[in-house]
Amino acid sequence: MWRNGHTNSGRNGMPHTNEDTEKEIENEEAQTEDLQPNLQTGSITVQKDGHFIHCLTVIGQIEGHYILPSQNKTTKYEHVIPQLVAIEESDDVEGLLIILNTVGGDVEAGLAIAELLSTMRTPTASLVLGGGHSIGVPLAVSCRRSFIVPSATMTVHPVRMNGLVLGVPQTLSYFEKMQDRIVRFIAHNAKISADDFRALMMKTGELVMDVGTVLDGAGAVDCGLIDQMGGLSDALAFLNRTIEEEHHAVDGH
């Protein structure tokens, strides 16, 4: 209750002045302004168990060198790459959680993001929700530990290109080299061999008018593509455990 228009009771029972109220409003507005840019890029930094963990979402289609139509939900690599650099150089952010629900997209843009993630010193974890299709597969396996929920799916298929393509041997050779780059990256960062991954990629009879394989959560773990089944709490628990282990290792030296 306001009393005489000057004071009210604060949270600790002490008198609360108009000046205090104005300061609280200013602080809330400042916090909202700080949070807004993160929400626009689909990322946020949270504190759990005393550790700051940055959460970055990869959703929709991964946009490359060409701007996609406005009705498409996209993840822009020119937004993600600077964020990863900032996270790696930050003294405050101690862990990174990548949440994936993507249909794939530009091969080189997706692979560039995956390469950055795989070379970060900051503890990283990925969580596949909904879908981690196409070039989303390298993104999922690029982190130190990958998680997938039971209902999620991952589509593995050969490299393809839309639009006009020159029907010459050099074009096919270019596709094959690009595909080899993806296969090598996945075999290096996951528990699946290059031959087994190629077998999934070239499997017939599963996709309509296409070759490839659709894996659910259990299938992705069984073939060695994803480390383990789990959800948000599992991924955060891994990050906090890894951060604690690294802190103890530093203190021990």
First and final C-alpha spacing in the chain: 57
In angstroms, rounded to a whole number, what is the distance separating the alpha carbons of residues 157 and 149? 21
**Which pLDDT belongs to residue 29?**
54
Q: What is the mean pLDDT of residues 100-123?
A: 96
- Residue of 43, 126, 134, 146 with catalytic role: 134
Q: Which residue has the higher pLDDT, 55 or 167?
A: 55
Q: What percent of the chain has pLDDT over 70?
A: 82
pLDDT at 167 over 90: no
The mean-pLDDT minimum among 28-37, 39-48, 243-252 falls in: 28-37
> Which of the four pLDDT bands, split at 50, 70 and 90, describes residue 192?
very high
Of 162, 71, 63, whose CA–CA distance to 109 is shortest? 63
Q: Is 233 a catalytic residue?
A: no
Question: Which of 190-208 are b and which e, b meaning 16 or more Cβ less than 10 Å from the residue's Cβ?
Answer: bebeeeebbebbeeeeeee
**Does the structure show a pLDDT above 60 at 9?**
no
For the chain, give the secondary structure using H, E and C.
Answer: CCECCCEEECCCCCEEEHHHHHHHHHHHHHHHHHHHHHHHCCEEEEEECCEEEEEEEEEEEEECCCCCCCCCCEEEHHHHHHHHHHHHHCCCEEEEEEEEEEEEECHHHHHHHHHHHHCCCCCEEEEEEEEECCCHHHHHHCCCEEEECCCCEEEECCCCCCCCCCCCHHHHHHHHHHHHHHHHHHHHHCCCCHHHHHHHHCCCCCCCCCCCEEEEHHHHHHCCCCCEECCHHHHHHHHHHHHHHHHHHHHHC
Please determine, for residue 149, whether its predicted confidence score (pLDDT) is greater than 90. Answer: yes
pLDDT of residue 172: 87
For the entire predicted model, the pTM comes to: 0.81
Higher pLDDT, 176 or 3: 176
Which candidate in 16, 54, 133, 157 is catalytic? 157
pLDDT band at 248 (very low <50, low <70, confident <90, very high): confident
- Interhelix angle for 169-189 vs 194-201, to 10°? 130
All structural domains of the chain, each given as residue ranges with its CATH number in brackets, are 1-34 (no CATH), 41-252 (3.90.226.10)
pLDDT digits (tens, 9 = 90+) for 207-243: 888 899 999 999 999 999 999 999 999 999 999 999 9
Residue 173 confidence (pLDDT) above 50: yes
Does 134 participate in catalysis according to the annotation?
yes
